[in-house]
Amino acid sequence: MNRRQTIPKHLRYTIDDFRRDYPNDDVCLEAIKEQRYPSGVTYCSDCGQERKLYRVSGRTAYACEAGHQFYPLAGTIFEKSTTALHIWFYAMYQMGSTRCGISAKQIQRETGVTYKTAWRMFRQIRSLLSEPDMQLEGSTVEIDETYVGGKRKNRHGSRGMRGRDNDEKTPVLGMVERGGRVIAKVTPNVKAETVYPIIQEFVMPQSQVFTDEYSVYDRLATSENGYQHRRIKHAEKVYVMGDVHTQTIEGFWSLVKRGIGGVYHSVGKNYLQTYLDEYAFRYNRREQGNLIFAAILARVSARACEKPSAPIAENQPA
């Protein structure tokens, strides 16, 4: 069955819904303004009080009654862009409505922007999707590593092998709560001294941890964090033994690799983490159907507010 057909009706946000809600740049700008200045009111430091904001004709600005201007796009990924705001919104909508990703080439075809512009837009949008402070709080966590990109030397198949024949591939460590959220991190290698601190950072103490038999996970059984460690022996062709398996994280790897291979074709090592952030962001909100667009849009204003030095207001008369 097509996955879209399984989305409950109240979680469906169709392209017609999107076009109805965001038909032009003015409506998109108003949406950003409402996020940053709820109810159209903000504190004006020059007036020394809260002021109602009014749109400045012909500019991406609002002004208070005294004429002091406020720029909702200041500090956001849209700030210095010459691309129409509704095209940015459309790109975010499409990114939130797919499981495997959407290519810059497709946005180029559908909107008429150049490929270079579409690629830069997606790069900027992905920069919003990391969740550095997230910690897995589920009682059961699966951990596994994989390799992305490059070519395996003298071997066949899609999964990288541990060891020196993987120099062209990029190692990635993944941790997932069963039925919950996932974290995927690019690592310089999969040695114990690299992997173990990452696990300690993101997996809560006392968690029950499932891995395969790779020796890098040996320390988990004697961890000072009190991990309960159980292993599945893939080398012996055993993939499930009761509740002992790593199929959840392997399913996420499959999703990532299908997307990168089928949609993006290849991803450079320097950008791989941002693509992993994109896949993890969608995966962690999979119960939202394709309402994920709203979560991406909310990140625009949230990240702008994290930059105290970003210019939000200019003291110029309207």
For the chain, give the percent of residues with pLDDT over 70. Answer: 87
**What is the Cβ-side half-sphere exposure of residue 243, based on CA atoms within 13 angstroms?**
7
pLDDT band for 30, please (50, 70, 90 cuts).
very high
pLDDT band for 315, please (50, 70, 90 cuts).
very low
Every domain of the chain and the residues it spans: 7-130+291-314, 140-283
66 or 310, which is more confident? 66
Q: Mean pLDDT throughout 275-299?
A: 92
Q: Which CATH class is domain 140-283?
A: alpha beta
Q: Mean pLDDT throughout 226-238?
A: 89
The alpha carbons of the chain give a radius of gyration, in whole angstroms, of 23
- Is 228 strand, coil or helix? strand
Structure confidence at residue 159 (pLDDT): 43
Q: Mean pLDDT throughout 245-273?
A: 91
Label residues 239-273 b or e (16+ Cβ within 10 Å = b).
eeeeeebbebbbebbebbbebbeebbeebeeeebb
Q: Mean pLDDT throughout 231-244?
A: 87
Structure confidence at residue 45 (pLDDT): 87
Give 174-217 pLDDT, tens digit per residue.
999 999 999 999 999 999 999 999 999 999 999 999 999 999 99
**Amino acid symbol at 93:** Y
- Summary mean pLDDT of the chain: 86
Give 84-131 pLDDT, tens digit per residue.
999 999 999 999 998 888 999 999 999 999 999 999 999 999 999 999
Place of tokens 């589920």: 138
pLDDT band for 309, please (50, 70, 90 cuts).
very low
Cα separation values, 88 from 56, 153, 273, Å: 21, 41, 22
pTM value is 0.85
